[in-house]
Structure 1
Amino acid sequence: MGRKLVIGDIHGGLKALVQLLERAKVTPEDELIFLGDYVDGWSDSANVVSYLIEFSKQNTCIFLRGNHDDLTHRWLKDGELNDQWLQHGGQSSIDAYRQFSEEEKQAHIKFFEQMVNYYIDKENRLFVHAGFTNQRGPENEYTPTPFYWDRTLWEMAMSLDPNLKPGDTNYPKRLELFKMIFIGHTPVTRIGKDKPVNFANVYNVDTGAAFMGKLSLMDVDSLEIIQSDPVHELYPEESGRN
């Protein structure tokens, strides 16, 4: 039986992704859960999507939808442009798709459409790009937006009194719903960390690959961490989302 591996935000860093999968010695026996944000950052945004489409033909993969994936999908499908998106990595995706044929773009649109907003495994572990806000769980969310934009779940986990335990009156209801929660979206480099960080039962696997950090992978059972080199060192002529 293979491992269950969760991978943080890639942001166009294909070289880092390939390096990471090699270091982890990934085999078709492993299940890989990608936390989203495949695009917007380094120059390989479109190439990351092409790589994952091919990779998933030989490997068991679950692809979660990130906010950058949603924005890039909207542009690819309908030409929708968002000023904030352009300022935060969107232009890199537009540039990356200039050499792609219409047929290739349609294949990528299909890939974006087939992403899921969240995944709950048999061990009651939740995987979601950003978070959720409904105290009764993600299946009761009124809109999909929190799944790829919410930061309150992570902020709550970070600020939680470590002496509080599940079952305590003031323990957050959202955190009691799952054994473990794996997220990306908010780089842990913002709090001075370079490896995935755990608060309460929330594990943040976004280690700043879009900026000066590394791309990270975790084995969700053993909690082993494997990382790429700092992604900016693999793209020395570029600035990513800096």
Structure 2
Amino acid sequence: MRRFAIGDIHGGLKALQQVLDRAKVTPQDQLIFLGDYVDGWSDSANVITFLMDLAQTHNCIFIRGNHDDLVHHWLKTDEQNENWLQHGGQSSKDSYAKLNKAEIEAHKNFFSSLENYYIDQNNNLFVHAGFANMHGPQNEYEPYMVYWDRTLWEMALALDKSLNPDDLFYPKRLKLFHEIFIGHTPVTRINKTQPVNAANIWNVDTGAAFKGPLTMLNVETKEIIQSDPVHQLYPNESGRN
């Protein structure tokens, strides 16, 4: 069994289908999706439908992203946060206009079923954003922290590379897990388009919402499989640019 961590999709169904095909994914593989399935390209609702169907035949784990939580909140309440609309929400709203009531109810159930984080048998953590609690995501006082926090990744990037886990000043949060796989903060912000490893964290968000590709990372071998830059698959759209 191969295991893949899959970065932020942001409505890019064409990229998701392309990268799954390039990886030659089979039902024996485990697919761990790191969240943010929506808000960006025009296929947000179609991505959710595709993932729901995929879960019927494949071994999938779906992590909750901040944008997934925002869309779920809108579907439940019809509240339209202007900040959300300006950061990909309008594309999701438009895509859901094409679904009937029964389909929307099924999507709401999907969003409700998302996991805030996943810890595997090897003590690897899969989480959308990070965590701030020194005892791990299990102990966050506010569950939303795990799909909004950026401090874990920023800390890993700024960490003195001469430190090792036995040093007094080595961050305790990083010692809780063998490896940590995240999305949320696109590595295109540091001019990268492939997953970035800092300390024991792997950031798999390669900017699919903007001008980067969508990425699958083999958890064990660290093989990288990517789509074309997603904006090339949606040439008449702007995504979240």
Could you state the TM-score of these two structures normalised by the residue count of structure 2?
0.99
Distance in 2 (CA, whole Å) between partners of 1:59 and 1:113 is: 20
1:229 alignment partner, SS class: coil
Instruction: Tell me the CA shift for residue 82 of structure 1.
Output: 1.2
Could you state the TM-score of these two structures normalised by the residue count of structure 1?
0.99
What residue is the counterpart of 1:112 in the other structure? Answer: 111
What residue is the counterpart of 2:176 in the other structure? Answer: 177
Distance in 1 (CA, whole Å) between partners of 2:166 and 2:18 is: 42
Distance in 2 (CA, whole Å) between partners of 1:142 and 1:164 is: 29
Distance in 1 (CA, whole Å) between partners of 2:79 and 2:127 is: 25
Query: Where in structure 1 do 4 or more consecutive aligned residues deviate above 3 Å?
Result: none
User: Percent of pairs identical after alignment?
Assistant: 66
What residue is the counterpart of 2:35 in the other structure? Answer: 36
Distance in 2 (CA, whole Å) between partners of 1:131 and 1:80 is: 27
For residues 37-186 of structure 1, what are the structure 2 equivalents within 5 Å? 37-186=36-185
CA RMSD of the aligned region, Å?
0.5
Deviation digits for residues 70-102 of structure 1 (CA, Å, limit 9, x no counterpart) = 000000111122111011000000000111000
2:228 alignment partner, SS class: strand
1:214 alignment partner, SS class: coil
Distance in 1 (CA, whole Å) between partners of 2:54 and 2:6 is: 14
Which residues of structure 1 form unaligned runs of 5+?
Answer: none
Distance in 1 (CA, whole Å) between partners of 2:40 and 2:234 is: 11
Which residues of structure 2 form unaligned runs of 5+?
Answer: none
1:89 alignment partner, SS class: helix
Distance in 2 (CA, whole Å) between partners of 1:35 and 1:143 is: 19
Deviation digits for residues 206-228 of structure 1 (CA, Å, limit 9, x no counterpart) = 00000000000100000000000
Instruction: Tell me the CA shift for residue 146 of structure 1.
Output: 1.2
